[in-house]
Amino acid sequence: MMNETVITVVGNLTADPELRYTQNGLPVANFTIASTPRNFDRAANEWKDGDPLFLRASVWKEFAEHVAGSLTKGMRVIAQGRLRQRSYQDREGNQRTAIELEVDEIGPSLRYATAQVTRSAGNGTSQATGGAWSAPQSSSEEWSTPGIEEAF
Spell 91-115 as b/e; 16+ CB within 10 A means b: eeeeeeeeebbebeebbbeeeeeeb
pLDDT in tens, 88-135: 999 999 999 999 999 999 999 999 888 888 887 765 544 444 443 333
Higher-confidence residue of 5 and 16: namely 16
- CB count within 10 Å of CB 150 equals 6
pLDDT in tens, 38-92: 999 999 999 999 999 999 999 999 999 999 999 999 999 999 999 999 999 999 9
